[in-house]
C-alpha cells in the first residue's frame, strides 16, 4: 500500500516537472500573453489591451524597424515596457523631443536598438534613457487579442496608421525606418 502511494506520488511529481519544463520552454522561446498598461503606445495599443508576444524573433535576431517589442525596462529591470523599434545598430535617429525647435541626431551603437512610444508626447523611451541593448528585448508583439473589435495581426496597416497619426501631430523629426525592408 505504501509502495503504491509512493509510486503515485513520484509519478505525479515526474509529470509536474515534465509539464513545468514544457511550459517554461513554451513561454521562454515561443511567446506569451501580455497585458499592456500606460498611454505611451496609443493609439496602436491602448491601456489594458491584451496582446500576444512571440519570442522567436529575438532569438534569431529578426527584430526589424517598425516592430513593437516587449523589453525589460532599462530603468527598472523588474518591469517590462512596450515600445516600437525606430532604429537598429548603425541607424541615424532623432534624439530630441517633438517640441524641440532644434533637432539632434545620433547613431545607434552596435548591439543596441532605439525605441520610442507611438504617443511621443507621453512616452518615456530611448529619448530619455538612450539606446537599449538588444539583450533586453523579451519578445515582439504580433497579435492583438483584446479588445475583440481590434483583434488581429499588427502588420503594415497598423504601421501606416501610426505614421499618418505621427504626421498629424506635427512631428518634424522624420522616422528613419522603412517597414518594407
CA 56, 116, 145: angle at the middle one, nearest 5? 50
Domains: count for the chain:
1
Grid cell locating 103: 533637432
In a domain, 106, yes or no: yes
Give residue 177's pLDDT. Answer: 35
Give residue 174's pLDDT. Answer: 41
Question: Residues 151, 144: contact at Cβ < 8 Å?
Answer: yes
In a domain, 53, yes or no: yes
In a domain, 38, yes or no: yes
Predicted TM-score (pTM) of the model is: 0.72
Grid cell locating 94: 532623432
Give residue 118's pLDDT. Answer: 87
Assign residue 71 the CATH number of its domain. 2.10.109.10
Q: From the CB of residue 49, how many other CB atoms can be counted at a distance below 10 Å?
A: 20
In a domain, 18, yes or no: no
Which residues form the domain of 52? Answer: 32-168
In a domain, 24, yes or no: no
In a domain, 4, yes or no: no
In a domain, 123, yes or no: yes
Question: Residues 82, 69: contact at Cβ < 8 Å?
Answer: yes
Residue 129: half-sphere exposure toward Cβ, Cα within 13 Å? 17
Give residue 105's pLDDT. Answer: 83
Helix, strand, coil abundance in the chain, percent, nearest 5: 35, 25, 40
Q: Where in the sequence numbering do the catalytic residues fall?
A: 40, 83
What is the pLDDT tens value at each position of the chain, 181 positions in all?
777 777 888 888 888 988 888 888 777 778 888 888 888 888 888 888 889 888 888 877 788 888 999 999 888 888 899 999 998 998 888 877 767 777 788 899 999 999 998 888 888 888 888 899 998 999 999 889 888 888 888 765 555 555 555 544 444 344 433 333 2
- What length is written for the chain? 181
Amino acid at each position: 500500500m505504501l509502495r503504491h502511494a509512493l509510486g503515485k506520488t513520484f509519478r505525479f511529481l515526474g509529470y509536474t516537472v515534465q509539464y513545468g519544463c514544457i511550459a517554461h520552454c513554451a513561454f521562454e522561446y515561443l511567446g506569451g500573453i501580455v497585458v499592456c498598461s500606460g498611454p505611451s503606445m496609443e493609439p496602436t495599443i491602448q491601456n489594458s489591451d491584451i496582446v500576444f508576444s512571440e519570442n522567436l524573433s529575438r532569438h534569431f535576431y529578426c527584430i526589424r524597424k517598425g516592430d513593437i517589442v516587449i523589453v525589460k525596462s532599462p530603468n527598472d529591470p523588474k518591469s517590462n515596457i512596450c515600445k516600437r523599434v525606430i532604429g537598429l545598430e548603425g541607424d541615424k535617429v532623432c534624439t530630441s523631443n517633438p517640441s524641440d525647435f532644434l533637432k539632434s541626431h545620433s547613431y545607434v551603437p552596435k548591439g543596441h536598438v532605439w525605441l520610442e512610444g507611438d504617443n511621443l508626447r507621453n512616452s518615456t523611451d530611448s529619448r530619455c534613457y538612450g539606446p537599449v541593448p538588444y539583450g533586453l528585448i523579451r519578445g515582439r508583439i504580433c497579435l492583438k487579442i483584446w479588445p475583440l473589435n481590434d483583434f488581429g495581426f499588427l502588420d503594415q496597416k497598423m504601421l501606416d496608421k501610426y505614421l499618418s497619426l505621427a504626421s498629424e501631430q506635427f512631428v518634424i523629426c522624420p522616422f528613419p525606418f522603412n517597414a518594407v525592408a
